[in-house]
Amino acid sequence: MYLFVDVLREVKNLAGSALGVAEGKICFPENFLFGVATAAYQVEGAWNVSGKGESIWDSYTHNHSERIFDHKTGDVAADSYHLFREDVRLMVELGVQFYRFSISWPRILPNGLINNINEDGIRYYHELMDELIRNNIQPMVTMYHWDLPQYLQELGGWTNPIVSDYFVDYARMLFQNYGSKVSAWLTFNEPLTFCRGGYTGLEAPGRLESSGIEDYLCGHNVLRAHGMVYRMYQKEFQAKLSTSVGITLDFLWRAPASRSADDIIAAETARQFSIGWFAHPIFSKTGDYPPIMRKRIDSISKIQGFSRSRLPYFTPDEIEMIRGSADFLGMNHYTTFLVSKNRKKISPKPSYAADMGGILSQKSSWPVANSTWLKIVPWGFRLSLNWIKREYDNPLVIITENGVSLEKGLVDTRRIEYIKEYLKSMHAAITKDNCNVYGYTYWSLIDNFEWTRGYSERFGLYEVDFDSPKKTRTPRLSSEYYARISRTKCL
Ligand code: PNW
């Protein structure tokens, strides 16, 4: 069993080790880690038991059921709060080396604040971690996978800078309680998606017309919170704990829609506005927002008549605090988009999309999954990893999510194909291009609540019968396929 920290310390470059094509097989090195992932709101259920507080997703699905497919909620979901031992049994069947799950902030701190601790919440995650460790599966924990305590939302949520301080209190108590059990921590899951989705799209908290202002405030305070947690961890815990701390960023590849210089520039700008927004402040040599983001938003804000940029400025101290504040980069990758230059005149209405200046599309010939945004484009994976390598001097990367949605059904050969082709692409990035990737996580262990898509999109290696009282889990073909990979480390 290899701890992430050992990998971090010893295997600085996996490409140098026993990687390669052995006897015609595509193999990963012995110490490459395979895992599976879920997130609290998507699987736990038990939304109001034993002292848990309300999260923004509880409140959103209850008050805006019209915005959720089939008016479903995560009230019960896959009931992993009660069935976690069964989930761990599935992982034993899969032979995975780690489980990436998230902790529900309001399950531990019902209104998000440190003065009111819910002991049942603390107990639940201890029992889950103990069960994992007993079975030789390392816990990899996301502190925030989108379920903000509703009370903090009422204070303004991530647009209020004080929430960053409250997040540090929460993170400190996680290190205190679980520090010795967790191999790797992720402060946030996909700030790009939750800051955009919550302030433009239909995700909680569902502020629909707020793009170009609130999404940037959200990103700003999330970046501050991330940096503050990392510095607190270094000061108070690093010497005594054998663990590592990173952040998960989503990087769906952005390829130019044509060979024109305009589209090539638009695609690069779109990368800086997506992963760069969060990765540049943390992983670049200079820190701070990507220069192109700074430049575009500052100048468009001016044209629109604002007296200051809609993208907030970090203080010099904040830039230093955030720069270098991660032991590794967690990357989620699912699909690819094409980018062409947006030729429309700047409208007076602020928006991230206009600031970015590109129009996203996908090729109709690309094979589809069961989510409108998810086309199957394996080559984008290798390109994304190479871009990260070039841009941030080859940081240590763990793939914290990759997966595909299909219809219900146990014979999921298309999922097997997806995993195979994406893993081949990742393997090429490691062996041929020297990218520092040391782990892969399939999303998801089981079918779960797919946010505004309810239970209509299935990502699981195991099917969940949401209509059965026991939320019966049944293996799909892909679970056998993935079990072979995680055991043999070969495709
Ligand atoms: C991830 N997009 O999000 C999330 O981390 C999971 O909670 C989720 O279940 C999974 O993907 C599958 O959807 C997404 O750009 C990130 O369209 C980005 C996009 C969609 C989902």
What's the average pLDDT block by block, 10 residues per block, for the chain (491 residues)? Answer: 53 48 78 98 98 98 97 98 98 98 98 98 98 98 98 98 98 98 98 96 92 97 99 98 97 98 98 98 98 98 97 98 98 98 94 97 98 98 98 98 98 98 98 97 98 98 98 98 98 95
The alpha carbon of 340 and the centre of ligand 1 are apart by a number of angstroms equal to 23
The residue whose CB lies within 8 Å of the most ligand 1 atoms, and thus the one to mutate among 43, 104, 375, 443, is 443
Strand partners for 244: 184
Number of C-beta neighbours around residue 305 at 10 A: 7
Give me the pLDDT at residue 209, please: 84
Q: Please tell me whether residue 236 adopts helix, strand or coil conformation.
A: helix
Give me the pLDDT at residue 16, please: 44
Residues with CB under 6 A from ligand 1: 39, 42, 189-190, 193, 250, 252, 332, 373, 401, 443, 450, 459
Give me the pLDDT at residue 305, please: 97
The alpha carbon of 348 and the centre of ligand 1 are apart by a number of angstroms equal to 30
Give me the pLDDT at residue 12, please: 46
Q: Sign of torsion, CA 359 364 369 372?
A: positive
Q: Which amino acid is at 445?
A: L
The residue whose CB lies within 8 Å of the most ligand 1 atoms, and thus the one to mutate among 253, 275, 278, 334, is 334
Give me the pLDDT at residue 1, please: 38
Q: Point out the ligand 1 atom lying closest to the alpha carbon of residue 371.
A: 13
Check: CB of residue 207 under 8 Å from CB of residue 268: no
Check: CB of residue 191 under 8 Å from CB of residue 158: no
According to DSSP H, which parts of 99-257 are helical? Answer: 105-108, 119-134, 150-154, 162-178, 191-199, 214-236
* Residue nearest (by alpha carbon) to ligand 1 atom 18: 193
Q: Point out the ligand 1 atom lying closest to the alpha carbon of residue 453.
A: 13
Q: Please tell me whether residue 386 adopts helix, strand or coil conformation.
A: helix
pTM: 0.96
User: Can you give the C-alpha Rg of the chain in angstroms?
Assistant: 21
β-strand pairing of 253-256 with 462-464? unpaired
Q: Point out the ligand 1 atom lying closest to the alpha carbon of residue 190.
A: 5
CA dist., res. 313 & res. 157, Å (int): 19
CA dist., res. 177 & res. 58, Å (int): 25
* Residue nearest (by alpha carbon) to ligand 1 atom 17: 373
Q: Say which of 268, 401, 450, 463 is annotated catalytic.
A: 401
401 catalytic? Reply is: yes
Strand partners for 249: 331
Q: Sign of torsion, CA 65 69 74 77?
A: positive
The alpha carbon of 458 and the centre of ligand 1 are apart by a number of angstroms equal to 12
Give me the pLDDT at residue 72, please: 98
